[in-house]
């Protein structure tokens, strides 16, 4: 096994990982990504943009209020204020550094409106290719940064901890085999959990790795039961990553239609198609569960130059041989974003000394039970920079001697790993999805345990694909079980967590739920909150 030293290890190459790596200069950073190239993760697929109150007519206080309202009683208002206040300033700094956002003919930034925002405050880049445009720019900056060593095709198998906290990461590299990366600080920026579900807007790499790494190391986790489903993915037979039809379409006037061609969202919420995401997803998901199709009507928008304004959506429809100018497009909800994750303070610190987290894998408390549209890229940017500032201030020391980490002796055979991943995704979609109940959740937990117990083992070789697949399955099963157990424990409906057996929000559950893994198996201890949320 090779040993490599750096000051900081960043795991993940989405928005949070890239911004953190760039902000950590002059410290020596190793950026590990399991993808073959930069960028990785869901940021690259973001169509809708990045929300910030940068218009002089807007106010970060209003943006914070919208964030808190969407969070269904669980958003930490101090974190929301930090996000929106610092977000506007930090994003302006990136704009001044040349991050390429769309502008009007007169040079002013274009600001779009999205669901549950009280003002037009969403910046886009390349129309609806925001993630791709921004991540290409950030990838070039990271590649050019002398202080960052980019390690691609590097799968983080486990965090390594010592008495003083985290001391490094055991990773398997396609090119170099097992490597023990040592550093005084590790930042988790490895994204979300979408691929734990049958249908998701997230790319293949979103397998819940960060939560599993942190859980096995004993870090506090929170809000795991809150998985956001995007209301409008393209409906069809495909599983895994499905194309997203951005919420900005509804912000620009697209309507949802029922099987008779009538609008139904006006009856469900005063904001109709622009209601909070959980409300829209629930309304669509309920119809689809009852066997009724739902459509997104883009005809008026397409008559008004929509294809040019939404080139990514136009490409998706063309690939699916659908013509939005002629017919409404079939849509269905898909797993999109995880509000829960590794508990951090405002500076990205987790409960383990030296371990930081930022972006979707982190749980800052800013999203509560339901994230406001286009707040995720902003959160990634703000809290990655804050974590980098905290790491710089802590001047991470080279860790003292520790025992070499043990390598896995056995792996799950590849064909079985792929099949079990699909079975687990079906269980999550059936019983831990948009609408849950206690019996279904209990069954899901038992079924996930049975899948884990039934895995065959074969002697571990040095094949990178086999190690990554087996490692991802290990992470998927653990993270799925943690989400299901947290969902079973929360006996109420709130935001993205909807239970048919507990259909209302309950005052006694108006707190965040902490979870720590107490042993190697996914048995969890649901810890009470450290402090109740202030009443707004």
Task: Give me the helices (H) in 50-195, please.
Answer: 60-70, 77-96, 130-144
* Min dist. Cβ of residue 201 to ligand SIN (A): 8
What is the footprint of ligand SIN within residues 194-233 (CB under 6 A)? none
Provide the CA 400 distance to its chain's centre, in angstroms: 34
Q: Which stretch binds ligand SIN (CB under 6 A): 139-147, 246-254, 392-400, 446-454?
A: 246-254
Residue 136 or 407 with smaller CB distance to ligand SIN: 136
Taking CB under 6 A as the criterion, the residue among 23, 33, 44, 376 binding ligand SIN is 376
- Of 277, 371, 436, 512, which residue is the catalytic one? 277
* Min dist. Cβ of residue 48 to ligand SIN (A): 2
* Min dist. Cβ of residue 248 to ligand SIN (A): 6
Count of Cβ atoms closer than 10 Å to residue 309 Cβ: 20
Taking CB under 6 A as the criterion, the residue among 75, 241, 344, 374 binding ligand SIN is 374
Residue 335 or 473 with smaller CB distance to ligand SIN: 335
Q: Does 246 bind ligand SIN (CB under 6 A)?
A: yes
Q: Are 387 and 104 within 8 A, CB to CB?
A: no
Q: Are 251 and 231 within 8 A, CB to CB?
A: no
Q: Does 48 bind ligand SIN (CB under 6 A)?
A: yes
* Min dist. Cβ of residue 88 to ligand SIN (A): 17
Site string for ligand SIN, 424-443 (x = CB under 6 A): --------------------
Which residues have a Cβ under 8 Å from the Cβ of 332 and sit 6 or more positions away? 199, 233, 234, 235, 284, 285, 288, 294
Residue 373 or 477 with smaller CB distance to ligand SIN: 373
Axis crossing angle, helix 130-144 with helix 376-394, rounded to the nearest 10 = 20
Q: Does 335 bind ligand SIN (CB under 6 A)?
A: no
* Min dist. Cβ of residue 46 to ligand SIN (A): 6
Residue 180 or 229 with smaller CB distance to ligand SIN: 229
* Min dist. Cβ of residue 192 to ligand SIN (A): 11
Q: Are 148 and 31 within 8 A, CB to CB?
A: yes
What is the footprint of ligand SIN within residues 341-360 (CB under 6 A)? none
The four Cα atoms 453, 458, 460, 464 give a dihedral, to 10 degrees, of -90
Query: What gap in Å lies between CA 236 and CA 332, rounded to an integer?
Result: 8
User: CA quadruple 443, 445, 448, 453: dihedral positive or negative?
Assistant: negative
Q: Which stretch binds ligand SIN (CB under 6 A): 7-15, 344-352, 368-376, 417-425?
A: 368-376
- Which residue shows structure tokens 């020391």? 397
Q: Are 140 and 29 within 8 A, CB to CB?
A: no
Q: Are 341 and 363 within 8 A, CB to CB?
A: yes
Give the H or E element holding residue 15: helix 15-23
Q: Which stretch binds ligand SIN (CB under 6 A): 69-77, 295-303, 370-378, 419-427?
A: 370-378
Bridge-based pairing state of the strands 341-343 and 221-222: antiparallel
Beta bridge partners of 387: none
Residue showing the smallest CB distance to ligand SIN in the complex: 48
Q: Are 12 and 42 within 8 A, CB to CB?
A: no
Residue 250 or 474 with smaller CB distance to ligand SIN: 250
Q: Is 277 a catalytic residue?
A: yes
Q: Which stretch binds ligand SIN (CB under 6 A): 10-18, 141-149, 371-379, 479-487?
A: 371-379
**What Rg do the C-alpha atoms of the chain give, in angstroms?**
22
What is the end-to-end Cα distance of the chain in Å, rounded? 53
Residue 48 or 348 with smaller CB distance to ligand SIN: 48
Q: Are 114 and 251 within 8 A, CB to CB?
A: yes
Q: Is 492 helix (H, G, I), strand (E, B) or coil?
A: coil
* Min dist. Cβ of residue 376 to ligand SIN (A): 5
Q: Does 373 bind ligand SIN (CB under 6 A)?
A: yes
* Min dist. Cβ of residue 34 to ligand SIN (A): 23
Q: Which stretch binds ligand SIN (CB under 6 A): 174-182, 203-211, 327-335, 373-381?
A: 373-381
Which residues have a Cβ under 8 Å from the Cβ of 234 and sit 6 or more positions away? 242, 243, 244, 245, 316, 320, 329, 330, 331, 332
Q: Which of 123, 57, 51 is nearest to 84 (CA)?
A: 51
Residue 217 or 248 with smaller CB distance to ligand SIN: 248
Q: Which of 375, 2, 16 is nearest to 187 (CA)?
A: 16
Q: Does 273 bind ligand SIN (CB under 6 A)?
A: no
* Min dist. Cβ of residue 12 to ligand SIN (A): 18
Q: Does 247 bind ligand SIN (CB under 6 A)?
A: yes
Q: Are 51 and 122 within 8 A, CB to CB?
A: yes
Size of the site for ligand SIN (CB under 6 A): 9
Q: Which stretch binds ligand SIN (CB under 6 A): 205-213, 244-252, 456-464, 496-504?
A: 244-252
Residues forming contacts to ligand SIN in the complex (CB under 6 A) are: 47-48, 246-248, 337, 373-374, 376
Query: What are the residue numbers of the active site?
Result: 277
């Amino acid at each position: 096994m090779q040993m490599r030293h750096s000051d900081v290890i960043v795991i993940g190459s989405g928005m949070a990982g890239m911004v953190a790596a760039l902000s950590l200069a002059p410290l020596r950073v190793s950026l590990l990504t399991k993808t073959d190239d930069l960028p990785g993760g869901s940021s690259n697929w973001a169509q809708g943009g990045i929300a910030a109150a940068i218009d002089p007519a807007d106010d970060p206080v209003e943006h914070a209020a919208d964030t808190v309202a969407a969070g269904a009683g669980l958003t930490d208002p101090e974190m929301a204020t930090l996000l929106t206040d610092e977000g506007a300033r930090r994003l302006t700094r990136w704009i001044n550094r040349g991050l390429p956002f769309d502008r009007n003919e007169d040079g002013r930034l274009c600001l779009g409106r999205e669901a549950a925002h009280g003002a037009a405050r969403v910046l886009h880049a390349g129309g609806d290719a925001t993630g791709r445009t921004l991540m290409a720019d950030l990838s070039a900056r990271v590649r050019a940064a002398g202080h960052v060593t980019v390690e691609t095709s590097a799968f983080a198998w486990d965090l390594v901890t010592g008495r003083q906290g985290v001391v490094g990461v055991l990773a398997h590299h396609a090119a170099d085999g097992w490597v023990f990366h040592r550093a005084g600080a590790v930042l988790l920026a490895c994204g979300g959990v979408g691929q734990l579900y049958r249908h998701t807007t997230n790319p293949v790499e979103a397998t819940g790795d960060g939560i599993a790494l942190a859980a096995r190391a004993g870090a506090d986790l929170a809000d795991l039961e809150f998985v956001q489903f995007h209301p409008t993915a393209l409906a069809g037979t495909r599983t895994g990553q499905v194309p997203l039809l951005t919420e900005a379409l509804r912000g620009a006037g697209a309507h949802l239609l029922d099987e008779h061609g009538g609008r139904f969202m006006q009856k469900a919420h005063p904001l109709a198609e622009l209601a909070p995401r959980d409300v829209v997803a629930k309304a669509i998901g309920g119809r689809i569960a009852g066997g009724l199709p739902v459509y997104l009507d883009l005809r008026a928008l397409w008559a008004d130059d929509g294809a040019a304004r939404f080139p990514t959506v136009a490409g998706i429809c063309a690939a699916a041989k659908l013509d939005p100018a002629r017919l409404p497009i079939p849509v269905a909800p898909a797993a999109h974003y995880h509000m829960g994750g590794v508990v951090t303070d405002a500076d990205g610190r987790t409960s383990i000394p030296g371990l930081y987290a930022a972006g979707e894998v982190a749980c800052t408390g800013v999203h509560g039970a339901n994230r406001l549209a286009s707040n995720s890229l902003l959160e990634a940017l703000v809290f990655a920079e804050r974590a980098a500032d905290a790491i710089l201030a802590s001047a991470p020391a080279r860790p003292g001697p520790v025992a070499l980490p043990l390598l896995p002796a056995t792996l799950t055979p590849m064909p079985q790993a792929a099949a079990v991943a699909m079975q687990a995704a079906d269980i999550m979609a059936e019983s831990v999805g948009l609408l849950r109940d206690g019996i279904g959740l209990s069954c899901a937990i038992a079924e996930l345990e049975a899948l884990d117990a039934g895995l065959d083992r074969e002697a571990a070789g040095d094949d990178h694909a086999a190690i990554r697949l087996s490692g991802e399955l290990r992470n998927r099963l653990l993270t799925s079980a943690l989400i299901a157990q947290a969902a079973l424990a929360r006996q109420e409906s709130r935001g993205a967590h909807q239970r048919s057996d507990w259909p209302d929000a309950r005052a006694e559950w108006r707190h965040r739920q902490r979870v720590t893994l107490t042993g190697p198996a996914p048995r969890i201890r649901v810890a009470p909150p450290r402090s109740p949320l202030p009443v707004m």
